[in-house]
């Protein structure tokens, strides 16, 4: 090879590298513009507050989250100190997670409604043809072949209406196939899982980003039998991918306004390790010499601008800051980057391209897989913020309520700590501690001070207690919770809680539930407008451009992103759906009980097909003798009346048994009470008897045993005398102590 040829190749390579450097500088310039504009807009300060408020961080407790921090000394020769808590340790620094409660409630409720276990978030239908619709509405002319013979549609001659109906049926069938393929792509890309992350970002900081679709290499495995054996086939294909993107890493064109797709470009940030960069050299779409250049330079481009303050570790590590630029690039620049798919004979001067830059060096440039050049970033705001692509979420809406509840709670806890103890005032000239220590302890001894003129030492002490302001602070905290409900439009009833304003009647409850879901309707429409419609449109374009998709799935279709509205309305109508049971059984309304039960099961996220009868079971039931609806209704009423009578009879028997048990219990209680009183009375009489005998013995100066013996002797004589008195001519063995006059003759007191 001649020196002239070699010199020409060197010049061409130098020109190519110069174009690469110019392309990298152009991307870096636009990147810096987008980064600085977002920083100056103040939205990053809002995001920082929302992030910290969700985690429970503010200026009062920041030291508790940041850990030990070395602080400079006040004096030149002073040591370094570590701050581990707030400067004023006597003040409460608690953070009530009010913001996190409303952020999680909003994201969870919305995810539950718009991301069901079954059902597609969209539908495709063939675009209506006016001429075709006209033919369908007309009677139609009869069709014949080239020989003049009539074309038959079954047993009748075919008409233009039949032909139009066939064309429409074919178009609808192709639309259903395309709809199924797009839905399969979304399932394989974990659309629901990524959307849950997006919805959480949207609720937390006001905006969420779903990157879809983008080219993703996907590996599939299949097993086949070959010559009596088993062969494993591994197939790698390019499929549309979907992924959640941190809004902190997205930088749209400053002139995009409220829609990132209105800008000329958009930039995404990512982070690579050196190992990952080395692995990229094996990919033919990357420029190996540019990657070597970046590895030699090191990660000197990791500025950390526009990053979340909670991601300090990323700024301090050794990862490389990678930037993905989506926008238009000239044909010569893309050829210098050896982008695939560009022909020198192509008359286009600019292409929609994706340029990957590290340290301002272009390591890759490819053509956008979508001819429309649409950005794969679908940005959804929770609530619209005028003039900005960033929305307003519950994290920001709770700012006032969060500040009020924190201030009131901290004041209440600080006041509780102060009111729990006493303020002690001591006259040191009147009293002194016996041990010389002025610390207040239990059982402490104090002396009256020498020379004290106070006659009452109790006046030397005075205790003062601060009043507790808990009721007043609690009223402010409750007010803050009402502010949170009104600011976020997420009432407690949507969080499964009730309060003083919750109605007791069913109608009032249903009305409140419907009104509480107004926010969900609005945000659900945001999902349709900003994500579902755009993602399906991009996937539809991917389907049309993908050569691996069969032609019978490609056509002119209309996209209906009905997911959010339909699913939210279904969620709201669940209560009424369950109350239709009695109406469904009435044939006058013409409602299918089978389809009604399917809707009820679907509303509870159950598989209706797994519970419904099979065709064979339905056929077996159809062969059984059918009962007229009137007779069946009469039987049902009769069974209901019988069950009602049995229930009333059982209730009556229960009442009789209860009354009997109550009377029996009362009689037993009265008997036990009488026995207890009798035993107590007898015990009291025995005690009195013993006391009387003891008193008698003391007065007679005899022992108690002698008294008991005399009493026993007297009792025996009286008993014998009583028995002898019953006999005629009985003798007298005992003389009465006294014999009142007029009651018996002398000497016959025991006889008369």
pLDDT tens digits along 376-428: 999 999 989 999 999 999 999 999 999 999 999 999 998 888 888 888 888 88
**3-state SS, residue 57:** coil
Q: Confidence class of residue 608 from pLDDT cuts 50, 70 and 90?
A: low
**The dihedral formed by the CA atoms of 634, 640, 646 and 650, expressed in degrees to the nearest 10:** -170
The pTM of the full predicted model, rounded to 2 decimals, is 0.68
Asked whether residue 316 carries a pLDDT value surpassing 60, the answer given is no
Q: 588: which DSSP letter?
A: G
What local confidence, expressed as pLDDT, does residue 149 receive?
59
What is the SS3 assignment for 6?
Answer: helix
The per-residue pLDDT for range 234-259, each reduced to its tens digit, is 777 888 999 999 999 999 999 999 99
What is the phi/psi pair of residue 86, to 5°?
-65, 160
Residue 76 has a pLDDT of 46
Helix (H, G, I), strand (E, B) or coil at 326: strand
| Cα distance between residue 466 and residue 419, in whole Å | 5
Per-residue pLDDT, 594: 75
| pLDDT higher than threshold 50 for residue 637 | yes
Distance in angstroms (rounded) separating the CA atoms of residues 311 and 712:
106
In this prediction, what percent of the chain has a pLDDT beyond 70?
73
Instruction: List the one residue out of 260, 286, 284 whose CA is nearest residue 272.
Output: 286
pLDDT level of residue 75 (50, 70, 90 thresholds): very low
In 120-190, alpha helices (H): 130-137, 160-188
- Establish how many alpha carbons lie within 13 A of residue 275's alpha carbon, considering only the half-sphere containing its beta carbon: 0
Q: Which two tokens stand for residue 666?
A: 């009362």
Summary mean pLDDT of the chain: 78
Average pLDDT of 39-56?
93
Taken in order 513, 519, 525, 531, is the CA torsion positive or negative? negative
**Rounded distance between C-alpha atoms, residue 426 and residue 443, angstroms:** 17
Dist CA 323 CA 27 (whole Å): 9
Tens-place pLDDT, residues 693-727: 777 777 776 776 777 777 777 778 777 777 777 66
Q: How far is CA 623 from CA 618, 620, 626, 658, in A?
A: 9, 5, 8, 51
CB 253 within 8 Å of CB 388: no
Indicate the SS3 state at residue 314. helix
Q: What is the dihedral of CA 210, 212, 214, 219, to 10 degrees?
A: 90
Q: What is the pLDDT of residue 326?
A: 96
**φ and ψ at residue 740, rounded to 5 degrees:** -60, 145
Mean pLDDT is lowest, of 184-193, 226-235, 506-515, for: 506-515
Task: Give the separation between CA 591 and CA 225, rounded to whole angstroms.
Answer: 51
pLDDT at 133: 46
Write down the number of H helices and E strands in the chain. 25, 18
Contact call for residues 751 and 722 (beta carbons, < 8 A): no
End-to-end distance of the chain based on CA atoms, in angstroms? Answer: 171
3-state secondary structure of 242: strand
* Banded model confidence at residue 327, pLDDT cuts 50, 70, 90: very high
3-class secondary structure, 237: strand
| Residues 30, 217, 265: CA angle, nearest 5 degrees | 15
Instruction: Tally Cβ neighbours within 10 Å of residue 402.
Output: 27
Q: How far from chain centre, in Å, is Cα 226?
A: 51
pLDDT at 62: 83
pLDDT for 365 beyond 90: yes
The DSSP 8-state label assigned to residue 352 in this structure reads: E
Residue 530 tokens, joined: 């900003």
Q: What burial class does residue 443 get, using C-beta atoms within 10 Å of its C-beta: 0-12 exposed, 13-18 middle, 19+ buried?
A: exposed
- CA proximity to 548, closest of 239, 103, 188, 204: 239
């Amino acid at each position: 090879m001649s020196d002239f040829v070699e010199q020409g190749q060197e010049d061409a390579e130098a020109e190519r590298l110069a174009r690469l450097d110019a392309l990298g500088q152009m991307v870096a310039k636009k990147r810096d513009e987008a980064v600085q504009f977002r920083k100056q807009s103040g939205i990053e300060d809002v995001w920082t507050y929302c992030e910290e408020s969700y985690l429970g961080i503010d200026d009062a407790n920041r030291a508790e989250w940041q850990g030990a921090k070395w602080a400079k000394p006040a004096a030149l020769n002073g040591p370094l100190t570590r701050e581990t808590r707030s400067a004023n340790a006597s003040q409460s620094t608690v953070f009530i997670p009010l913001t996190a409660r409303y952020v999680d409630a909003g994201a969870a409720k919305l995810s539950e409604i718009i991301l069901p276990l079954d059902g597609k978030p969209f539908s495709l239908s063939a675009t209506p043809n006016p001429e075709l619709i006209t033919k369908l509405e007309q009677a139609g002319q009869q069709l014949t072949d080239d020989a003049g013979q009539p074309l038959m549609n079954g047993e009748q001659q075919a008409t233009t209406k039949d032909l139009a109906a066939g064309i429409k049926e074919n178009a609808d069938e192709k639309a259903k196939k395309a709809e199924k393929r797009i839905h399969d792509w979304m399932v394989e890309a974990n659309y629901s899982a990524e959307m849950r992350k997006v919805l959480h970002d949207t609720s937390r900081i006001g905006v969420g980003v779903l990157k879809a679709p983008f080219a993703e290499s996907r590996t599939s495995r299949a097993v086949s039998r070959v010559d009596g054996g088993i062969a494993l086939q591994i197939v790698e294909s390019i499929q549309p991918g979907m992924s959640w993107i941190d809004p902190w890493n997205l930088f749209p064109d400053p002139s995009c306004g409220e829609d990132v797709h209105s800008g000329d470009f958009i930039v995404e940030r990512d982070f690579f390790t050196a190992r990952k960069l080395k692995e990229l050299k094996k990919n033919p779409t990357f420029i190996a010499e540019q990657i070597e250049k970046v590895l030699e330079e090191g990660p000197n481009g990791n500025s950390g601008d526009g990053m979340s303050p909670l991601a300090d570790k990323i700024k301090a590590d050794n990862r490389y800051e990678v930037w993905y630029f989506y926008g238009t690039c000239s044909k010569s620049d893309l050829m210098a980057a050896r982008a695939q798919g560009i022909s020198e004979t192509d008359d286009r001067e600019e292409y929609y391209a994706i340029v990957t830059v590290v340290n301002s060096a272009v390591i890759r440039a490819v053509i956008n897989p979508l001819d429309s050049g649409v950005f794969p970033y679908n940005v959804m705001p929770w609530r619209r913020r005028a003039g900005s692509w960033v929305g307003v979420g519950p994290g920001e809406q709770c700012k006032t309520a969060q500040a009020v509840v924190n201030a009131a709670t901290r004041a209440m806890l600080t006041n509780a700590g102060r009111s729990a103890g006493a303020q002690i005032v001591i006259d040191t000239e009147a009293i002194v501690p016996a041990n010389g220590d002025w610390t207040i302890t239990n059982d402490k001894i104090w002396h009256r001070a020498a020379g004290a003129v106070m006659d009452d030492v109790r006046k030397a002490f005075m205790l003062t207690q601060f009043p507790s302001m808990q009721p007043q602070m609690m009223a402010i905290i409750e007010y803050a919770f009402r502010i949170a409900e009104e600011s976020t439009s997420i009432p407690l009833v949507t969080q499964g809680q009730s309060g003083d304003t919750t109605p007791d009647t069913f109608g009032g409850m249903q009305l409140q539930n419907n009104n509480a879901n107004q926010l969900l309707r609005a945000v659900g429409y945001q999902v349709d407008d900003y994500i579902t419609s755009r993602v399906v449109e991009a996937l539809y374009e991917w389907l049309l451009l993908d050569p691996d998709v069969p032609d019978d799935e490609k056509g002119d279709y209309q996209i209906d992103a009905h997911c959010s509205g339909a699913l939210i309305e279904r969620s709201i109508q669940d209560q009424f759906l369950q109350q239709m049971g009695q109406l469904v059984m009435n044939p006058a309304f013409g409602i299918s009980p089978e389809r009604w039960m399917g809707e009820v099961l679907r509303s509870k996220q159950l598989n209706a097909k797994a519970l419904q009868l099979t065709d064979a079971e339905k056929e077996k039931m159809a062969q059984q003798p059918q009962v007229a609806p009137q007779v069946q209704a009469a039987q049902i009423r009769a069974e209901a009346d019988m069950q009602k009578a049995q229930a009333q009879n059982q209730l009556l028997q229960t009442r009789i048994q209860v009354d009997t048990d109550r009377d029996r219990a009362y009689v037993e209680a009265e008997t036990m009470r009488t026995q207890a009183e009798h035993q107590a009375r007898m015990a009291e009489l025995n005690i009195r008897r013993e006391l009387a005998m003891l008193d008698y013995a003391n007065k007679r100066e005899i022992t108690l045993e002698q008294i008991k013996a005399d009493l026993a002797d007297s009792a025996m004589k009286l008993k014998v005398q009583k028995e002898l008195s019953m006999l005629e001519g009985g003798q007298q063995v005992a003389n009465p102590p006294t014999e009142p006059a007029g009651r018996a003759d002398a000497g016959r007191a025991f006889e008369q």
